[in-house]
Amino acid sequence: MGSQQEKISFRRVGVVARHHTETILDSVLNVEAVLQEARIDVVVDADTAAVLPNGVHSVVDKSALESLDLVVVVGGDGSLLGYGRDLAASGVPVVGVNRGGLGFLAAVSPEQIDGSFAQILRGDFAIEEHFLLQASVNREGQVIAKQSALNDVVVNPGSPARMMEFALWVDDEYVYDQRSDGLIIASPTGSTAYALSAGGPIMHPGLDAIVIVPMFPHTLTSRPLVVPGEKVLRLRLLDVSDAEPQMSCDSQVHVELQIGDEIVIEKHAAPLRLLYPPGHSFYQSCRSKLDWGSRLGGQRS
């Protein structure tokens, strides 16, 4: 991933939202108004159009979003993850308007729609390319599932208080057998999500690396492992006691697993291109969203 500026002309822009709360719809209408003022054609998908009042916009299938100049996702990071997985292969740039929680990916706040978002439309922005992971499930020599993930791929027993046993290889080099509650394989983008809560490192989104984070391993010496981004990871499920194991991509797409399945995880060929307002800083996001810089015991007297 690299930050850069690039000349892009926005003629047709899509505005989408996975969830349709009142606050989200208010921001959708605000974004639409800014686009119309800039004389830009507005497109929405059918799900979003169904809950909007009649406006000056066209309704298209989700597949048609890939041919637009820009897609604006209104919601939390979860919404951006969902649309991001679908749009990455097309190369269409995406900007997120945050109506969720942390908003690491959706960097435009509702009060910035008239300012920072309008700046983006005028060509004042930075582009960050966030690579995705691709996970394939192999069963008895056949690929039974293939999914992508922007944040992480998680393999777990599917039931609380259950352990699983698996073997791990990196580029066909054996790493270890492990008994644990599962394993998180995260991109740098996902290092501030589930992997962080499991004790993984914070990775700058510009790193070309993948982090492997064990979930409550049955050993005192198993630690998170960071490997180069071009490595291919292979996980073989050896045993799961009285549970229904599964693979989860971004906590949104789930695949049921069986003993003996192999999960192959590698970097996806196409990155997601995210647009950010000028002055966007990963470190400032960490300060504001992860409470960096707070003093223990409160303010200095």
Tell me how long the chain is: 301
What gap in Å lies between CA 18 and CA 119, rounded to an integer? Answer: 25
Give yes or no: 47 in active site.
no
Compute φ and ψ for 222, nearest 5 degrees. -85, 120
Q: Report strand pairing: 209-215 vs 262-267.
A: unpaired
* Radius of gyration for the chain, computed over Cα atoms and rounded to the nearest angstrom: 21
Alpha-helical runs (H) found in 94-151: 118-121
Describe the strand order of the beta sheet including 246-249 as a list of residue ranges: 225-228, 209-215, 182-186, 152-156, 246-249, 253-256
Residue spans of beta strands (DSSP E) within the chain:
12-16, 41-45, 57-60, 70-75, 94-98, 126-130, 133-139, 142-149, 152-156, 164-170, 173-180, 182-186, 209-215, 225-228, 233-240, 246-249, 253-256, 262-267, 272-276
Q: Give the Å distances, CA to CA, from 107 to 98, 226, 280.
A: 6, 26, 8
What gap in Å lies between CA 151 and CA 130, rounded to an integer? Answer: 10
Assess contact for 222 and 191: CB atoms under 8 A.
no
Catalytic residue, from 41, 45, 47, 77: name it. Answer: 77
Assess contact for 80 and 54: CB atoms under 8 A.
no
Question: Which residues does residue 259 pair with via DSSP β-bridges, in sequence order?
Answer: none
Which residues are tagged catalytic?
A: 77
